Structure formats: structure tokens, C-alpha cells
Chains A and B, each alone.
Chain A
Amino acid sequence: MSATSDTAGTAAAPFDATAFFQRKRLMAIAVPAGILAYFVYIFFAFDIPGLAERARMDNARILVADSFSYKTHVTRDNRMGGITIAVEGENKGTWPEGRSPDWVQVESADRAVVSLKHGQEVLLDGDTMRYDVPGYGMIAAEVSRRGIALDLPAGETPDWISASNARVDITTDAGRVILTKARSEVMRYHFGWELFWFTLDSPFYGKSFGELIGLAVSGDRLVEGKSNLAAMVHDVWNNRMWQHKDVMWAIFETILMAFLGTMGAALMALPLAFAAARNFTPLMVVRAAVRRVFDFLRGVDALIWTIILARAFGPGPLTGALAILITDTGSFGKLFSEALENVDRNQIEGVQSTGAKPLQRYRFGVIPQITPILLSQVLYYLESNTRSATIIGAITGGGIGLLLTQAMITQKDWEEVSYYIILILLMVMLMDTVSGWLRRRLIQSDDSGH
């Protein structure tokens, strides 16, 4: 403690209060000024003034809006004819033929009325589209092989309509219409995560929670040869839209990486730590060599280990686990050997006096002393490695980190991104709780006797 020990240290000598306070005052100004100067340097080195230009606030809006809402596409194929309705425009979210959400009236194979929000309506009829926007007027368009003929009310084209011969994009707060030569598309946004539990091909789609419980206990089977509950679990687990099965496996892989890596590292580090501790290895050469090994393992860092191992083992959880194992063998080795150097000799001598052999001396004289420190370090690393495993998974390709980066790269499935983020948070917090609970349990019970 610099401030207090300064006063204590100078008490014996004649105390020059003026100089002392002058120094303190200088420090009180110099330190904040230094930090400020560094931030000014960073401000320009990181080009923060240019950031405002580069930042894509529209991306931020899409991200936020998409993360808690979904859109349904009503698409008319302008080449082949025919209308399809699909959640997020994805194949696996397509409404089956003959069924439609209640805001779409399919009147014939080529004609549909789509009700958007605020009572607005879009009519798709063959190659034509009609959209009456309140306060603006009727937008009519006809798609032909030559291009798109757009008929707007008189006056300047507003900025929410972007039109060219090949593509027309109309975005209002009620929905969005995109016309190209290939297809006419109307999108409506809804709140929530659609198809999260059941996809459209499941007989349980669209049922309320109460109805589902009723079905689960009642005997009438919706799916042949399976109880309703089993069918429900099967449909949720194999949901093709959200892929719960793959996501849960990914979470499990990430935890597995952290667990195998941490525990493996602890097992590797323990015997090595004895070789690096002064009181167990009198030979300087051995000690120094083992310590340099620890430094090397830690210094090369998880990033480089991951790259090297990914070349040998390919992507997957094993690679991540080994990367964690190698890096943390270095960290644990250092920590354990420090703990070993602080053990109490008396206990070892006590065990030795009863005629214990070396291995027994370690088992009964040393291990009980260092177990609490060891365990608390290992559990702390287990929790922190769950986070590292997410990142390592993104590099080497495994676990939830891979799913997250993949979902990010497509730049459209933001609802999945937010789902993964929530799962990662829950996973880390779960590991935090478990490791805290174990730490309290194990270390306490270990204090009561050996």
C-alpha cells in the first residue's frame, strides 16, 4: 500500500510534509493526465472519428428487430406461376398446400390478398400487384418479361420506395413488398420466434399450451404408433427450423471441451508440479527445465495451440479439449507448484515417522494439504474455460461457437443468433453456479478431516 506505507516508512526520519504532499499532488494530476493522453492517442489510432461513417446503424436496426420478430413471405413465382407462403422464406418453413395463415386469403392458384398491419392490404393477382398505402395512394405494378412497370401516384417518389426496371422495393411500417422478374414477394412481420416448438408439418402446430397438455394426457393419438407426449418430444427435438437437437449437442460439446480440457490439464500438471517445486525436487536442472516447459505451454497460448492441433485432428470438440488441456497444463503447473512449495513440512514428517513410503507420504502428507487450493483453482478454470471453449469452437469449428459464427455470417438469422447468445449466457451461468456449489461442498467437507 504505497500511500500508507510511505507515511509509516518516513516517520522515523524527519518527515518533510511539504515535499510529500507535493509529490502526492503531482501524482494526482500526472496519472489521470497520462490516462487521458493515452485515450486521446487511442482515439486517433483506432480511427474513432471515422467510425461514425463506417457504422451501419441500419444493420443495428435489422439485428434488433429481427432478434424478436420474424417475417412471413408470401411469394408468387412470376415464371412458373403459383403462390407459396413460407416463414422467413425458407423451404423448411413453408406452409403446406391448401393451408395458410389467417391474414392471407388465397383465392386461386395465382391470386391472393395479403392483409398487412394497420388494415393495409396487398393484392397479388397473376403478374400484377396492387398496394393501397393510406396517405399516399395506390401503388400498382405489372411484371412482364421486359421488366417491371410501376404506376405510382403523381409527385416525387418517396424514399421508402426504391424502383428500377429490374427491381422494386417498397418498405412501409406495415410490411415490405419486393418485385423482381422472377418473383413478387410480400412480407409481413410478426412478434416472437415462429415455429420454435413445432414446425408446420407437425400435427401439434398452432395448438395452445393448454391444448397440448390436454393432448398429452388424453388417449387419442395424433400420430400412429406413438403416444402424444412422445410424438411432441420427437417433433420439438427434431424441429428443422430451430434444430434443437444440433444446438443442444453443440452446447454439450462446448461443456465437454471445457471439462475434458480442464480435468485433463489438472491430471497432467499435478505430477509435473512436484518436479517443479523446490521442496520436492532438489535438483536445480530438473526444476528449471520443468518450469520452462510450463512457461512455454502458457506462452504459446491457446490460439496457436488450437491452430496447430486443428491441423492434426481436424475440427471438433476433441481438438478444442486438447488445446485447453495443453495451455492449462502450463497454468496449473505453475499454480500447483507454488501451492506445493507452501506446504507444511511437519505433516509430511509426521506421516513419515509412522513408516510411510514416499508414495504414501505424498498421498497422506501432501495431497490433503493442497486439495482445497487445487480444487478451487480447477473449478475456477472450469468455469472460465467454458467461455474459452466457445471462442475456441469458433476458431477450430465445434460446439456452440461454430453455430454462432455460422449464424452470424449468413447475416439474416438474427433470431437464431439471439437464441444462441441466450443459451451461451445460460450455459456460462450454469457452469458458474455448479462450480461455485461444488467448490463450497468439496472444500468444506475436506476441512472436516482428512
Chain B
Amino acid sequence: MTVGQAGVARVQDVQAAYMEMTRRKRLYGMVMLVVFIALMVSGFRVADGRNAGGFWDGIGNIFQFPKEVLSEAGEKIANLPGLMVKFLPSLLETLNIAGASTLLGAIFAIMISLLATRGLAKWPRLIGVFRRIMDIMRAIPEIVIALVLIFILGGGPVPAMIAIAIHTTGALGKLFSEVNENASLKPVEGLHSVGATWAQRMWLGVIPQVAPNYLSYALMRFEINVRASAILGFVGSGGIGYDLKNAFSWGQGRYDEVAAIFLLLFATIVVFDQISGHYRNKMIGKG
């Protein structure tokens, strides 16, 4: 066998192996696609069967409720500005719940994330413990804590604030500790060499490096928390969600209020989305 023939044989081997691999990959892809489609279809059928109204019956009525609300709001369009002013205090409460819980959550998240980052932790052995604590805080849905706290503390904004703050601590803590891992250790070591305490090293050595990223994540979280606090209000405590629930369960006759609240909520969410998006771009762009 000449060198050239050996080369051709090797190329053919490689080609055959490649074709084999491609075929196998394609087969796996097909199998996964089929499984996925089967899951989606059967899942839809199960969900459809367990729903009070079926999908095909309901799809025709989907615009009925918006139409009722719009037509009633249209008749009483003169009321709308007044109603929107009336609900402004509730909207402010919802925003305050989101603001306070984001701030509280961010403060706790900074502490816990520093304690859970390798190289920065005060007690390196407890890193795993703090990470698990963050995991659990992140896993508990806000509604669970909120409902329990409503039973103990009564209605109002405080249960929602605490519930969202706990979840925020877990969620931001994870993001913050990822940021911390990329921070330069040089300032920390410098501060250590002049005898700074752990708190001083963190405050003066780490925080200035990571503050813009922290802020950007906290803003994104604030956006999410505005939505969460509106939803928690609907389920039972404080803010504009609670007003929405009252107006909504009253039914026809107060749909002008429903429309006013829908509008306020929509405008608020869009405005805060835009503001936070703008500042986040600015901060990340600068960094």
C-alpha cells in the first residue's frame, strides 16, 4: 500500500465516522423532538381536561371581558381621571412595597453574598451553609410567606414587603456572589496588609468595584418586584392589587375602576421598565 492509498483510506474512515456521528445526532434530535411534541400535546390535553372551561369554548370569549370593561369605561370616561387620582395612594403603596423590599433584600444580599464568595468570606468553612440559605430563600414563593404573615400580622403592606424581601435576598444574593467572584482581590489584600477589619476590607475594597453591577441587578429586581407586589396585593395584602380585587369581584358597575387600575398598572410597569432599562444600559456601558 502506498502512502497515498493509506491517506485515502484514512480520509474515508474519517468520513464514514463523521457521517455515522451526524446520523446518530440527527436521530437523537428527532427522538427529542418527537418526545417534546408528545409532551406538549398530551400536556395540553390534560390541562384542557382539568380546566373548568375548555380551550375551544373559551377562545371565542377571550375578548368578552375586555370588551365589557372597555364599554363600561367608555360610557363613564369622564370618571377615569378622577378614579386614577383616587387610586394613586394605593399605587404609591405598591411601589413602596417594591422599593422597600428591594432595598432590604439588596442590603441582606450584599452581606450574605460576601459571606458566600470564595476568597472573600469571613468564615470560609460556612460558604456552603450560606449558599444553601440563599437557595432556600430563593425557592420559597413569595405567596407562601405572605399568606402566613397575613395570618399573624394582619393585612397591610408589611407581610408583602417581608415576603418579597426574603425572595429578593435569595435571588440577588446569587447574582451578587457571581459578581463578587470577578472582583479583583488586590485592594482587599492591600487593606488587609494595613490591618483593616473584614468589614472595612469589604466596604472599601470590594464594594466600590462591584457597586455598578449590584445597582444594575437591583434595578432589574425592582422591576420584577413591582409586578410581584401588585400580585400579592391581589391575593391579600395592601396596595393597588387589593383595590383591583375589590373592584373586580364587585363585577359589572365598577368596571370603570377596573379599567382605571389596569391603566395605572400598565403605565407604571412600562415606565419603570423603561427607566431601569435606560440606567442599566448606561451603567453596564460605562463598566
Contacts and interface: CB of A to CB of B under 8 A. Distances in A.
B154 interface: yes
Contact of A404 (B48, B62, B144, B158): B144
A4 B287 CA distance: 9
Given A301-B265, A316-B50, A405-B235, A411 B100 contact: no
22 contacts: A1-B286, A2-B212, A4-B209, A46-B96, A48-B158, A259-B39, A260-B43, A264-B40, A301-B266, A307-B248, A309-B62, A311-B61, A312-B53, A312-B58, A312-B62, A312-B64, A390-B144, A394-B143, A405-B147, A424-B140, A424-B144, A429-B135
Nearest to B36: A263
B147 A404 contact: yes
A285 interface: no
A3 B269 contact: no
Given A303-B241, A408-B147, A256 B100 contact: no
Given A263-B40, A299-B273, 9 more contacts: A63-B152, A299-B269, A301-B265, A309-B58, A313-B53, A315-B52, A317-B46, A394-B143, A428-B140
A317 B51 contact: yes
Given A57-B152, A391-B141, A391-B142, A313 B52 contact: yes
Given A256-B47, A313-B55, A303 B151 contact: no
A288 interface: no
Instruction: Report the interface size class on chain B.
Output: 35 or more
Instruction: Report the interface size class on chain A.
Output: 35 or more
Interface of B: 21, 25, 36, 39-40, 43-44, 46-48, 50-55, 58-59, 61-62, 64-66, 93, 96, 99-100, 103, 135-136, 139-144, 147-148, 151-154, 156-158, 161, 208-209, 211-212, 227, 230-232, 234-235, 241, 244, 248, 262, 265-266, 269-270, 273, 286-287
Contacts of B135: 429, 432
Contacts of A299: 266, 269-270, 273
A46 B153 contact: no
A138 interface: no
A304 B262 contact: yes
A47 B235 CA distance: 21
A298 B223 CA distance: 11
A286 interface: no
Contacts, number: 192
Interface string A33-76: 00100110010011110010011110110010000000000000
Contact of A42 (B44, B96, B152): B96
A387 interface: yes
B47 A260 contact: yes
B65 A314 contact: no
A425 interface: yes
Contacts of B153: 51, 54-56
Contacts of A387: 139, 141-142
A63 B148 contact: yes
A59 B151 contact: yes
A395 B234 contact: yes
Interface string A250-265: 0001001101100110
